[in-house]
Amino acid sequence: MTWEAPEKPNDDLLDGVRQTLRELMLDGHPTLRELSSSLGYSVRTLQRRLADHANGPRLSYSQLLAQVRRKEACRLLSETSLKITDIAEKLGYSDPASFSRAFHRWTGGTPRDYRERQRRK
């Protein structure tokens, strides 16, 4: 899949970056270099485009990765029966405890509690 970036930073840029990041996560923990290469940018150009994003505050790679991880974590917890350990691994966490701490920062609760609430809906 080839994705061409628009000339100006906008939501299309972020959507494309997020989609590419999700795809790269399937093969492990993507680095900024892998992401920029997949998009056809140098690392510095991608960093500048993210920082200059016109529709919001400055955005770093680590912030973007956290956003994608959070969204994927919520999706996987509510739409699959994967073990939390497997979700943590799929999202690039070194261990389930690290994933649980990050998830708690994002949502204020545990992955297990989130999954249970989603199933009751």
Structure confidence by residue, pLDDT tens digits, 45-100: 998 888 877 566 678 898 899 999 999 999 999 999 999 999 999 998 989 999 99
Q: Are 59 and 15 in contact (CB under 8 A)?
A: no
pTM of the model: 0.81
CA distance linking residue 113 with residue 53, whole number of Å: 34
Above pLDDT 70, what percent of the chain?
Answer: 88
CATH 1.10.10.60 domain residues, the chain: 66-121
Q: Which two tokens stand for residue 35?
A: 């992401």
Alpha carbons 79 and 62: distance in angstroms, whole number: 25
CB 51 within 8 Å of CB 79: no
* Residue that wins the pLDDT comparison between 92 and 11: 92
pLDDT at 7 over 80: no
* Closest listed residue to residue 96, CA positions, set 110, 80, 76, 113: 110
- pLDDT category at 39 given cuts 50, 70, 90 is very high
Name the CATH topology of 66-121: Arc Repressor Mutant, subunit A (1.10.10)
Helix axes 61-79, 11-25, angle to 10 degrees: 60
At 55 the pLDDT is 60
Q: What is the Cα–Cα distance from 105 to 90, expressed in whole angstroms?
A: 19
Expressed in percent and rounded to 5, the helix, strand and coil fractions of the chain are 65, 0, 35
Count of beta carbons in the 10 Å neighbourhood of residue 2: 6
